[in-house]
Amino acid sequence: MSAVPAEALEAPIERLIGRELPAAASGCPHAYGRIVAASQNTVTAVALAITRDVPASEDIAQEAFLKAWQQLGRLNSPSSFLPWLRQITRNLAHDHLRASRRRPLDGEVAELAISRAADPAGTPVRQLIDAERQAVAAELISELPEDSREVLLLYYREGQNSRQVAELLGLSDAAVRKRLSRARRCLRTELVERFREFASGSAPGTAFALTVVAALGGFTKPAAAAGLTTAGSTVAGGILGKLLLGGSAAAAGGGLLSGLLTAWLCRRFLARYADNAQERRAILRCYNTYLWTCLAMLAAAVALAFAFTSRIPAYAAVLATLAVATYQLLGPLARLMAPLVRRDSARNPDGAWKRELAYRLTFGPSGAVISNLCVLGLLAIMHLQGA
């Protein structure tokens, strides 16, 4: 049976974000608008579950999208976008609740309330409808456990598709079904249908995404995001491939690649200790084994980085590479080279200490410590910068 392409295993929302986010990170508002349209139900549902206020939830959702636009450069990869956006929304919603509890009805708040009351469009009938809508929202949402509110709201807004809800909220389908079941048990029978109508009826329309896109013009373009240069790059880009794409990660990648090139050129330095073709072949065979082992294990690190979302497998592979490389430098290569280095010192005493020092700093314990610290430092830099 033929293998299923990795792209086919991705959720539709993940494919869309992976396709559009690099352009959005480069400053394309239309690409970002398509992301907004695909995720607006999720973001407004998250805000509504916390605030229990439909207008406030839409205001918060718009603010969350605009804040995310400005901070796209902080993303590690497209797969981080939805969890990050949900957390931005939750933070803004809780800030809104805290501000509402502390805010007295005076100053700008009072003026806003008066202007709304004096609005000609706000007829008594319309005001009654709005008041009833808000009362229904607060009543229905309050009936639900906190961890089920987002799930049930989004379930009815997304055509009652539990798998779609799971993808949008970063949950398993089983967890979504469990929360849906608990939510339905909490709602009285006569309220279930009312909640369905409320959830679907309060969902934002196409005007919501258009409003967000129009507001983008008032903000600067997002900072360049090295992590979003390609849709498929994740940790692997941070370990090797993405090192070539820009910023300090490029410097780190350049250092790693130049280190490998330097190691290759050092073959000539070692070969000078040989007195004949047999010794030369032995030296190059041992050193080439060391180099190819390092390259193979680094390739494994990149493969693990693409295979897993977590950085841990790739980091573990890099650490294993350091361990194997250190063993080969201080084990087989050291045993082969030790008598040759001593022979060189005995033959040519003048400057022998300089040549031996150069050898130890390159291939001996000191060299192993220095190279390991450099690689670990590069990993630390890339991890802290989200590369």
Q: What is the per-residue pLDDT across 251-289, written as a single tens digit (0 to 9) for each?
A: 444 445 555 566 666 777 787 888 888 888 888 888 888
| The Cα angle at residue 72 between residues 68 and 77, in degrees rounded to 5 | 120
Give the mean model confidence (pLDDT) for residues 17-28. 88
Q: CA-to-CA distance for 370 and 375, rounded, in angstroms? A: 9
66 confidence band (pLDDT: 50, 70, 90): very high
Q: CA-to-CA distance for 143 and 356, rounded, in angstroms? A: 78
pTM, entire model: 0.51
> Which residue type occupies 365?
P
Strand, coil or helix: what is 258? helix
Give the DSSP letter of residue 272: T
Side-chain-side CA neighbours of 279 within 13 Å: the count stands at: 14
Distances (CA, A) of 38 to 32, 50, 93, 180, 330: 10, 21, 20, 22, 56
- Residue among 83, 103, 89, 84 at smallest CA distance from 50: 89
Backbone angles phi, psi at 121, to 5 degrees: -75, -20
Tokens of 254: 């350049």
Q: Tell me what pLDDT residue 40 has.
A: 92
Length of the chain: 387
- Render the burial of 257-292: b for 16+ CB within 10 Å, e for the rest: eeeeeebeebeeebeebeeeeeeeeebeebbeebbe
Predicted confidence (pLDDT) at residue 180 exceeds the cutoff of 70: yes
Q: 């990648």: which residue's tokens?
A: 253
- 29 or 300, higher pLDDT: 29
